[in-house]
Amino acid sequence: MAIQTGDRIPEAKLQRIGEGVEIIDTPTLFNDKKVVLFAVPGAFTPTCSERHLPGYIERFDDFRAKGIEVACMAVNDPFVMQAWGRSQQAPEGLLMLADGNGEFARLLGLEMDASAYGMGTRAKRFSLYAEDGVVKLLNVEAPGEFRVSSADYLLQQLA
């Protein structure tokens, strides 16, 4: 069953590149903080690169002005996420997180089978807003859609 508003973020480990490969566990990422996490099916894929990540880059300062940290997640390795963030000129502080084996997507109940496209298991396109590790807003896109997980849509919900 997919995570719902009011649920606590499950414990998992994600990766990013900092001083080498760094492990970030979800309690460290979410506890005692306000966090927006948005997930994309894949780094460097068309909608993700042309619209989804760019929207959060464009509106990054708007989230930060509200005291909210911003993280992007995909079922990719941390080196791909780092390269994608650099290619998109993601600002310092926008976390580019790798869920390499899709474990966190599965724990959230927001994984999808993209095997028909040669991509295996991926995360559904979604956004969530959490306070102190509890989901306050959750927006999951219908297959092939890009609307409710956008930065603009989430900012409207937070207004």
Q: Note the pLDDT of residue 120.
A: 82
Structural domains of the chain, ranges and CATH numbers in brackets? 13-158 (3.40.30.10)
Q: Note the pLDDT of residue 117.
A: 83
Q: How far apart (Å, rounded) are the C-alpha atoms in residues 35 and 132? A: 8
- Cα–Cα distances in Å, from 72 out to 10, 78, 122, 134? 17, 12, 14, 18
Show which residues are catalytic: 48
Q: Note the pLDDT of residue 111.
A: 96
For 158, the 3-state DSSP assignment is: helix
Of 74, 65, 82, 64, give the one whose Cα is nearest residue 149.
Answer: 74
The model carries a pTM of 0.95
- pLDDT mean by block of 10 residues, the chain; 159 residues: 96 96 97 98 90 97 98 97 97 97 97 86 96 98 94 97
For 52, the 3-state DSSP assignment is: helix
